Amino acid sequence: MTLRNSIRTTLAAASLAALAAAGAALAQDIKSIKVGYAISKTGPNAGGAATTNIPQYEMWVKEVNAKGGLMLKSVGKRVPIEVIEYDDRSNSEEAVRAVERLITQDKVDLLFPPWGTGLNLAVGPVFNKYGYPQLTFSAVTDKAPELAKRWPNSFWFLGTSKQYIDALADLLAKARKDGRINGDIAMISIADGFGIDLASAARAGFAKAGFKLVYDKSYPIGTQDMSPLLGEAARSGADTFVAFSYPPDTFALTEQSKVASYAPKVMFLGVGTFFSMYPEKFGPGVEGITSLGGWAPNNKAVLEYAKKHQEMFKRGPDRWGAVVGYASLQMLEQAIERVGKIDRPAIIKELQTGTFNTVIGKMKLVNNMPKDAYPLIGQWQKGFYAGVAPAGPNAAALVIPKAPWK
Amino acid sequence: MLIEAALSGLILGGMYALVAMGLSLQYGVARIMNLSYGELLVAASFSAWALFTGAAVNPLAGLLAVVPAAFAASWLVYRLLLAPLVRRARTRDALEVDTILATFGLAFVVQGVMLGFFGGAYYSYGYLAVPVKILGATVAVNRLIALGVAVAIGLALYFGLTRTRAGTAVRAVAVDPESARLVAIDVRATAGFAFALGGALVAAGGVLVSMFLTFNANLGVLFTMKALIVVIMGGVGNLLGALIAGLLLGLTETFVATWVDPGLTLAATYSLFLLVLLARPQGLFGGSGR
């Protein structure tokens, strides 16, 4: 070995060592991955946020941190997650301010979305401006495909109102063809985002499927007595009763139908029907009641997830958005670990194109939305909220007529 | 159908009256515009829920625990938080502004405590959701009980206030605290008593509505608003007025929902409110005592 060579080798070794040291210093610099979210802890949205979103966030963070954090290849180790949480007070200006603060002052690495269609639309431009992935799972809007195009960083896991209405109309059309129900539908809806959206989609969808809306009324938020509406629906002679309602009204509708012994052949109620407290409150009386969402009857992973949820929060998850939201977080986790660093454009790209293993099965997004990944319509069957549409190997059959009240 | 609608309307109205009567006492007699009213009502609902699910105490028996506790807590709130404001207030208007601010803050404290204990999720349990037939119409027993209690409290307090010596003292404080002192009425003690009694009433309302309404820690403001309308419509401080105003609102809402459009119930309620205020700014039964 010549002197020159020796020097060269020494220099190379030294610089390598220096590089390695720098690398180690860099790795030690990333002590945590900061995840932030602004969510409705107070105000009218708090009930939905506490039921659908917050448990998924807490559960996922706890599980990831129990493993030591997210595996980042770029630093060669697991990095734990640190959470920053704000209350948006169910107010869109507040939500926008809080998200901006999370990005610019707290300098979070990732953001979780707020609860509800309205707030997700409100914060959408901010997520988009700073290029943060927005994985919504408590927003239903017919604009979802358009939004996914305008904001490629936004993902709409619950899809459009139309897809739910189409699935419901298909089910009903089949039942009518089989002579199990007549062609009349009585529909009520809450005069607020969710109710207005779904009711207008339903007017079009039911008409297209050849149904006649013999009763179609909306009612204001905070209505505490549903008996006049139920009375009119019963007198309308429709075999199918559809309510796009919020949890307090859903519970009142159920209790007051039971008291009045109003048991239409198909009874479809809104948000709340798929909460775990629903069968706890009404017992076997819920048999045959239909609503959004549902679980595939044969999916063991979902049941395990539900058990963990029950242990952690002392109540079960809702049977619509919750498990989809949890799956979206699993996708986010896998996307980050595949990219190997907090490179948001690359993570978004991976979410758009990758295939992921989740609690509800293999997921691959099409235009930033899942396709046939979970049931759209569910029904309480022997204490289990089974998915009944869209039809497929994972769907149970719709039971008609709804059992009489007990 | 008419009987059915009328009965539903009366029952709904009874509930409105029930949740409003406590505020009528607090505002009418103790002169405290209590903006934390709805939160206290929801807190009582949570207590009933906890007793029912945790200790299997039915809500009607739960009243025996919750109502005295609410009376004591309200009395403490009055002595510790509100009495200093009463002492320093120069005019009735100044007192009103101060108490609005103080109880607005209290509302957030109570709400925060409930959020801490129960989170933002919905709570509900079932008790006496059984049908009973009255004049051919079917109603739920739990809602009927709420109506019955509202009527009983309304009448009892009305006669208690107008026919007894202590009630007369309470009314004297309501009409003119300065002059009441001249006839040896302990104004502060009487006002404190009225405020605490109002607190007991709101707790009774909260326990009873929890039998059939779904609630969460954020629902308070809804009840405060409804109670405010009923109280102002019925005449501030007049329990019978609150009862009748509540029943009127309930009937209007149900009739409009049955024969016009359920979407117009709020509009109908506020139109009625407006009409009453235009014709009688002091409320249906207000003014006679002043």
Total count of domains within chain A: 2
Least confident range of A17-21, A59-63, A153-157, B129-133: A17-21
- The whole-number pLDDT of residue A23 equals 47
- The whole-number pLDDT of residue B178 equals 80
**Is A49 a domain residue?**
yes
Least confident range of A54-58, A123-127, A368-372, B170-174: B170-174
Cross-chain Cβ contact B213/A272 below 8 Å = no
Q: For B228-236, what is the mean pLDDT?
A: 89
Calculate the CA dihedral of residues A119, A122, A127, A129 and round it to 10 degrees.
Answer: 180
**Is A8 a domain residue?**
no
Range of the domain at A182: 162-296+376-389
CATH code where residue B12 lies: 1.10.3470
Q: How confident is the model at residue A129 (pLDDT cuts 50, 70, 90)?
A: very high
Same domain for A222 and A270?
yes
| CA contacts within 13 A on the Cβ side of A141 | 20
Interface test with chain A among B123, B124, B223, by most A beta carbons within 10 Å: B124
Contacts of A88 in chain B (CB under 8 A): none
Computed over every residue of chain B, the mean pLDDT equals: 88
Least confident range of A104-118, A331-345, B272-286: B272-286
Cross-chain Cβ contact B121/A51 below 8 Å = yes
Q: For B37-60, what is the mean pLDDT?
A: 92
Cross-chain Cβ contact A50/B120 below 8 Å = yes
- The whole-number pLDDT of residue B284 equals 84
Same domain for A213 and A248?
yes
| CA contacts within 13 A on the Cβ side of A359 | 23
Cross-chain Cβ contact B119/A50 below 8 Å = yes
Computed over every residue of chain A, the mean pLDDT equals: 91
- The whole-number pLDDT of residue B103 equals 92
CATH code where residue A317 lies: 3.40.50.2300
Cross-chain Cβ contact B122/A218 below 8 Å = no
Q: What is the pLDDT of residues A180-239, one digit of tens each?
A: 999 999 999 998 888 998 999 999 999 999 999 999 999 998 888 999 999 999 999 999
Same domain for A321 and A193?
no
Same domain for A218 and A280?
yes
Sign of the CA dihedral B103, B284, B11, A270?
negative
Residue A179 has pLDDT above 90, yes or no: yes
- The whole-number pLDDT of residue A287 equals 94
Residue B16 has pLDDT above 80, yes or no: yes
Same domain for A171 and A267?
yes
**Is B287 a domain residue?**
no
Q: Does residue B175 or residue A92 have the better pLDDT?
A: A92
**Is B182 a domain residue?**
yes
Q: What H or E segment, with its residue span, contains residue A70?
A: strand A70-72
**Is A401 a domain residue?**
no
Task: Evaluate whether B13 touches B247 at the Cβ level (below 8 Å).
Answer: yes
**Is B284 a domain residue?**
no
Interface test with chain A among B16, B125, B218, B222, by most A beta carbons within 10 Å: B218
Same domain for A237 and A256?
yes
Residue A163 has pLDDT above 80, yes or no: yes
Q: Does residue A108 or residue B241 have the better pLDDT?
A: A108
Same domain for A238 and A132?
no
- Comparing C-alpha atoms, which of A228, A227, A229 is closest to residue A215? A229
Instruction: Please report the beta strands in A148-246, taking only residues with DSSP state E, as ranges in sequence order.
Output: 154-156, 184-190, 212-219, 240-244
- Provide the phi-psi class of A382: left if phi over 0, else alpha when psi is between -120 and 50, else beta: left
Same domain for A266 and A382?
yes
From the CA of B277, how many Å to the nearest CA of chain A? 23
Total count of domains within chain B: 1
Q: How confident is the model at residue A18 (pLDDT cuts 50, 70, 90)?
A: low
Residue A326 has pLDDT above 60, yes or no: yes
**Is A228 a domain residue?**
yes
Q: What H or E segment, with its residue span, contains residue A8?
A: helix A3-29
**Is A370 a domain residue?**
no
Q: How confident is the model at residue A14 (pLDDT cuts 50, 70, 90)?
A: low
- Please identify which residue in the block is written with the tokens 């927005």: A134
Task: Evaluate whether B17 touches B245 at the Cβ level (below 8 Å).
Answer: yes
Same domain for A227 and A175?
yes
Contacting A with CB below 8 Å, chain B residues are 1, 4-5, 8, 11-12, 15, 111, 115, 119-126, 129-131, 138-140, 212-219, 222, 250, 253-254, 257-258, 261-263, 265-266
Cross-chain Cβ contact B263/A50 below 8 Å = no
3-state secondary structure of A38: strand
Buried b (16+ CB within 10 A) or exposed e, B34-69: bbbbbbbbbbbbbbbbbbbeeeebebbebbebbbee
Q: What is the pLDDT of residues A290-306, one digit of tens each?
A: 999 999 988 899 999 99
Taking residue A361's Cβ as centre, other Cβ atoms within 10 Å add up to 15
**Is A183 a domain residue?**
yes
**Is B290 a domain residue?**
no
Task: Evaluate whether A145 touches A172 at the Cβ level (below 8 Å).
Answer: no
Residue A15 has pLDDT above 70, yes or no: no
Contacts of B125 in chain A (CB under 8 A): 281
**Is A24 a domain residue?**
no
Cross-chain Cβ contact B263/A191 below 8 Å = yes
According to DSSP, the β-strands at A240-244 and A184-190 are: parallel
From the CA of B140, how many Å to the nearest CA of chain A? 6
Measured between CB atoms, which of A54, A229, A260 is closest to B257?
A: A229
Task: Evaluate whether B177 touches B191 at the Cβ level (below 8 Å).
Answer: yes
- The whole-number pLDDT of residue B288 equals 47
- Comparing C-alpha atoms, which of A207, A290, A286 is closest to residue A243? A290
Q: Does residue B3 or residue A288 have the better pLDDT?
A: A288
Token couple for B173: 């404080």
The nearest alpha carbon in chain A to B126 belongs to A281
Cross-chain Cβ contact B257/A219 below 8 Å = yes
Q: How confident is the model at residue A22 (pLDDT cuts 50, 70, 90)?
A: very low
**Is A291 a domain residue?**
yes
Same domain for A256 and A306?
no
pTM score, whole prediction: 0.86
Q: What is the pLDDT of residues A25-79, one digit of tens each?
A: 454 568 899 999 999 998 888 888 999 999 999 999 999 999 999 999 999 999 9
Range of the domain at B162: 2-279
Q: How confident is the model at residue B91 (pLDDT cuts 50, 70, 90)?
A: confident
Q: For B235-242, what is the mean pLDDT?
A: 84
Cross-chain Cβ contact A255/B129 below 8 Å = yes
Sheet strands side by side (includes A33-39) = A81-87, A33-39, A110-111
Same domain for A174 and A258?
yes
Q: How confident is the model at residue A24 (pLDDT cuts 50, 70, 90)?
A: very low
The nearest alpha carbon in chain A to B261 belongs to A217
Q: For B163-172, what is the mean pLDDT?
A: 88
The nearest alpha carbon in chain A to B267 belongs to A220
- The whole-number pLDDT of residue A222 equals 84
Contacts of B12 in chain A (CB under 8 A): 224-225
Q: For B106-118, what is the mean pLDDT?
A: 91
